[in-house]
Chain A
Amino acid sequence: MADDFAPLLEIAGLSRHFGGLKVIHALDLAVARTEILGILGPNGAGKSTLFNLIAGVLAPSGGAIRYEGRDVTHLRAWDRCRAGIGRTYQIPKPFAHMSVFENVLVAAVHGGGAGIRQARLEAAGVLERTGLSAQHARPAGSLTLLDLKRLELARALAVKPRLLLLDEIAGGLTEAECGTLLDIIVQVHAGGTGIVWIEHVIQALRRACTRLAVLHGGAILADGLPDAVLADPRVKHVYLGT
């Protein structure tokens, strides 16, 4: 096994243009297994696009992505998932006509690579952990937005990720619910999973993250310890509007 501090994810010169719009441009970023990296950035900065590129849902216009030392730039989304990259969607994409349990089962069977028997146990465990057990038999399409976000997290966890990409899952949570979420994230991280977490709830990022990066103008504007990044005048200027 590679040592813990070797980069789990290495992004070099990554670009993604939509027509003339350079959403991601020459972006460099490395994430180690030991990190919980928080990503901040104004609306439309390209944070979700970055996740789509890492997860293989979008093809980059240029640059390279390495994961666990291997070039995955041209790997299909499902192969990246099987390799251990789990992600949530900012705008939930549930399997609306399948039950909550089956939604998680899909991830455990396909992304996690478990047999159905084993996957059923794992899926039940993940539902318990994410507080969705009571809803297990409901069609996912009938969940509230908050529960849909829980389901996004549950599915991503069922993949048994070694790199977990979380896209705005704390918005709208109460103080207590946010605490539960942070516990889960810290627990998953302690299990040896590197985490990248896009979030606008700065307090949540501050409590969980070992490092913060600010995305602006298609690349990383500031990167470092959370307090140092939040105190950076450039960050205050573009993000906090002061």
Chain B
Amino acid sequence: MAFRSPSLAMLACRLALLGGIAVLLLAPWLFDSEGLAVLTQFLTLLVLALMWNLLAGYADIITVGQHAFVGIGAYAFYGFAALAGVNPYAAIPLAALVALVAAVPAMAIVFRLRAAYLAVGTWVVAQVFMLLAGKLPGFGFGSGVSLPIAVAQAFGTDPAGRYTTIYLLALGLAAVTLISTWLLLRSRIGIGLTAMRDNEEAAGALGVNIVRARILCFLWTAPFLGLAGAIITLQNLRISPPASFSIIDWTVFVIFNVVIGGIGTLEGPILGTALFFVLRAYFSDLGTWHLIILGVLSIVVILIEPRGLWGLLRRVLPGDLIPVSHRRAAAAGAVRAAPERFEPQPPA
């Protein structure tokens, strides 16, 4: 490594993160519509990666059916905005609500299963939702339907303005997802989730209510996935069962990204999704090979470091880039290097 010291490496990572945030904030001025469209895809895939990571990386719910909630969000958004005539902006949070409601019966089925059966169960549930979507009157059945022009124009009358609006919505969603997930992991529930990630049995024996934590995570992810589905629909301007419920786009790629970036960390999904877009920009003409390369890459990464590329980087870095961990009170004080003698006294 070119870095002299861990803190220098940390500084480089911080700068990369801040630079990335700055680029995202200034993107409407920096990029044309095509660039904004790619960044919108990046942000929605980032949301999906953060959610899959929360389920698989912390709550041990290895789902291969998360595309279900993306599709449900897409269809709900279409239903409210195009069919029910709801204000298109209001249709977005309603899509989140529908995804949340759909998560309840899905959970009741899936949570009866464990491990490999659970994975298969999530896939079956997702297939059922997709088949149901293809039977809905008004939604174009199996071949889908385009978004009415009036709905699209609510987000900008000219294409350039629309791309900017959709991009800003995606940016807002990604920011809310990242910050709320970070707050969740910092909370007392999050301490328990992190413990579950490292050793589920010990977490349970030390008082972490594993069932409740799992339920919370499952319900937590559904609305965010639904929101991503609404934004994806806005961007594609149409819904259809195979595209809105695409297992490859909204689940398989996402799993690769999280695994390559680093499962069970907050930084991993960000790193993995960013890498995915860099690779895609250079190897976009590879077609199916793209998928195969990512699959092989994720297996290689797992064999070298189960916690992904971020796990490799973390060996050099002195701490988390996005700090989730809790430090002892004395260590958080002003003089970190000095030997710590001060011990806080509990209030009488």
Contact surface of A with B, Cβ cutoff 8 Å: 55-57, 76-79, 81-82, 87, 89, 93-99, 101-103, 105-107, 109-113, 115-116, 118-125, 127-128, 133, 136-137, 155, 159
Q: Are A95 and B346 in contact (CB under 8 A)?
A: no
Chain B, range 315-348, C-beta contacts under 8 Å to A: 325-331, 340, 343-346
B22 within 8 A of A: no
B209 within 8 A of A: yes
B144 within 8 A of A: no
Q: CB within 8 A of B199: which of A55, A95, A127, A128?
A: A95
- CB-defined contacts of B303 to chain A, threshold 8 Å: none
- CB-defined contacts of B197 to chain A, threshold 8 Å: 95, 97
- CB-defined contacts of A98 to chain B, threshold 8 Å: 194-195, 198, 325
Q: Max chain A CB contacts within 10 Å: which of B205, B209, B264, B330?
A: B205
Q: Max chain A CB contacts within 10 Å: which of B188, B206, B327, B330?
A: B206
Q: Max chain A CB contacts within 10 Å: which of B188, B207, B307?
A: B207
Q: Are A78 and B208 in contact (CB under 8 A)?
A: yes
B192 within 8 A of A: yes
Q: Which residue of A lies closest to B265 (CB)?
A: A97
Assembled-state Cα–Cα distance A203/B175 (Å) = 60
The 8 A-B pairs with the shortest beta carbon distances in the complex, nearest first, are A111-B207, A110-B207, A95-B198, A93-B202, A81-B207, A77-B204, A107-B206, A106-B195
Q: Are A78 and B210 in contact (CB under 8 A)?
A: yes
Q: Are B207 and A121 in contact (CB under 8 A)?
A: no
- CB-defined contacts of B187 to chain A, threshold 8 Å: 116
Least Cβ–Cβ distance between A67 and chain B, in angstroms: 15
Known contacts A78-B207, A78-B208, A124-B343: A95-B326 contact under CB 8 Å: no
Could you write out 30 A-B pairs with CB less than 8 Å apart? A55-B205, A56-B205, A57-B201, A57-B204, A78-B207, A78-B209, A81-B206, A82-B207, A87-B205, A89-B202, A93-B202, A95-B199, A97-B264, A98-B325, A101-B326, A101-B327, A102-B191, A102-B194, A105-B191, A106-B191, A110-B206, A118-B346, A120-B328, A128-B343, A133-B343, A136-B328, A136-B331, A137-B327, A137-B328, A159-B207
- CB-defined contacts of B329 to chain A, threshold 8 Å: 120-121, 124
B102 within 8 A of A: no
Q: CB within 8 A of A125: which of B191, B206, B208, B346?
A: B346
Known contacts A81-B206, A120-B326: A96-B192 contact under CB 8 Å: no
- CB-defined contacts of A121 to chain B, threshold 8 Å: 329, 344-346
